């Protein structure tokens, strides 16, 4: 259970940069049918699984564009996890609603568990520049299991900053990227940990690469864009 929610927490603060560009969005092509595939690696570079995303249900109203991202995660053991979440672009900022990550399918997997989810959306401006500081975000999940045990999870993404520009080559191509650094602080039961990460973000594509580190700065895992279809 703990592993499941830590994985969800990590996804919450990285998938915000995995969507893809409409007239509203500079970096994210919110175009119906756009699909992206990422391969996940452990700290030794061994393949761990894949993440697949597809843009669906795109709606435009004035300067606002909304879409649904369908997400599927699979590992080397054949385990799969799927969900969907909502994205909104207002012409200046892209926002992800964290509450929508906890949809009916995910809730059904938790059985009789009751959940109360609060927090703030992750925001990413359309215009990025080196040295720019980005807003913090957070999500809190309160869980009640069978009326017996209560469990809280707090996840904060802090110290978000655009570090530099860098060219990155992956199996999907070569991309000019902004590198965004952040720290994800997770509190759950007796666990309290902070994990730094970096995301390489390309215009018109979204996330090209992501790396997570331990508190000492050593690489713990990574994700790389391996397929892109628009």
Cα 121 to chain centroid, rounded? 12
Q: What is the mean pLDDT of the chain?
A: 81
| Residue 108, pLDDT score | 52
pLDDT in tens, 54-113: 999 999 888 889 888 888 989 888 888 888 888 888 878 888 876 665 544 444 555 556
SS3 (DSSP) at 31: coil
pTM: 0.82
How many independent structural domains does the chain possess? 1
Q: What is the domain range of residue 186?
A: 2-229
Q: Where are the beta strands (DSSP E) in 5-46?
A: 35-42
Cα–Cα nearest to 124, from 82, 161, 175: 161
Output the pLDDT for position 100. Answer: 60
| Position 41 pLDDT exceeds 80 | yes
Give CA–CA dist 89/63, Å, rounded: 8
Percent of the chain predicted with pLDDT > 90: 37
Residue 41: CATH number of its domain: 2.40.360.20
């Amino acid at each position: 259970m703990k592993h499941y929610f830590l994985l969800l927490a990590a996804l919450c603060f990285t998938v915000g940069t995995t969507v893809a560009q409409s007239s509203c969005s500079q970096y994210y092509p919110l175009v119906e049918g756009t699909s992206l595939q990422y391969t996940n690696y452990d700290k030794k570079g061994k393949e761990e699984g894949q993440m697949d995303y597809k843009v669906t249900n795109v709606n435009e109203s004035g300067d606002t564009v909304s879409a649904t991202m369908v997400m599927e995660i699979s590992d080397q053991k054949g385990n799969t996890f799927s969900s969907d979440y909502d994205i909104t672009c207002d012409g200046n900022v892209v926002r992800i609603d964290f509450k929508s990550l906890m949809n009916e399918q995910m809730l059904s997997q938790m059985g009789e568990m009751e959940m109360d989810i609060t927090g703030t959306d992750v925001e990413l401006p359309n215009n990025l520049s080196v040295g720019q500081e980005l807003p913090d975000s957070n999500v809190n999940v309160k869980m009640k299991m069978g009326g017996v045990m209560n469990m809280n999870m707090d996840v904060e993404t802090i110290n978000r900053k655009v570090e530099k520009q860098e060219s990155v080559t992956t199996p999907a191509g070569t991309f000019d990227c902004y590198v965004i650094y952040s720290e994800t602080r997770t509190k759950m039961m007796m666990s309290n940990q902070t994990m730094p990460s970096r995301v390489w973000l390309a215009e018109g594509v979204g996330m090209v690469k992501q790396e997570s580190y331990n508190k000492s700065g050593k690489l713990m895992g990574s994700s790389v864009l391996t397929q892109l279809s628009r």
